[in-house]
Amino acid sequence: MSSPLYDIPVNRIDGSQASLGDYAGRVLLVVNVASKCGLTPQYDGLEALYRTYKDRGLTVVGFPANNFMGQEPGTNAEIQDFCRLTYGVDFPMFAKISVKGDDRHPLYDALAGDEDISWNFEKFLIGRDGKVVARFAPKTEPQDPAVVEAIETELAKG
């Protein structure tokens, strides 16, 4: 199950090296997150999705980014504490990256291609084969029926 997305190096929020290849064979919901955004309460919905579907093969992965109006100013440690203490986040969080501009991380080059990331909490659903199967706008809530249906469809592919 080789996918170019799986080969891109990323760092976990604790600084350890990783890649999405660590989750090969799982369905992934990749989200660029921010702690000081009007959409930050989506952490609750993302964690609920993770808890509901993780045993069936879904992993939600959060990538903090400070690209939009400085809404993720903290350090990785501060972000991790905020997410755990405020929203009980247990899904994997990664080190802060850039999702837009000249310094956009290669992961987001691969996810979005030539398109820009429009805001915090844009969501990419990646199938078990490592390919992007859906993209959801920032204001689309994690429990939106379109998101849930897409996740369930991918999980059913086993």
Angstrom distance (rounded) from CA 158 to CA 30: 19
Residue ranges and CATH numbers for the domains of the chain are 4-156 (3.40.30.10)
Full-model pTM: 0.97
Position 5 scores a pLDDT of 93
- Beta strand 123-126 with 132-136 is antiparallel
Active-site annotation holder among 37, 48, 148, 155 = 37
- The 3-state DSSP class for residue 38 equals coil
The one-letter code for the residue type at 41 is P
State yes or no: is 37 an active-site residue. yes
**Tens digit of pLDDT per residue, the chain (158 long)?**
568 999 999 999 999 999 999 999 999 999 999 999 999 999 999 999 999 999 999 999 999 999 999 999 999 999 999 999 999 999 999 999 999 999 999 999 999 999 999 999 999 999 999 999 999 999 999 999 999 999 999 999 97
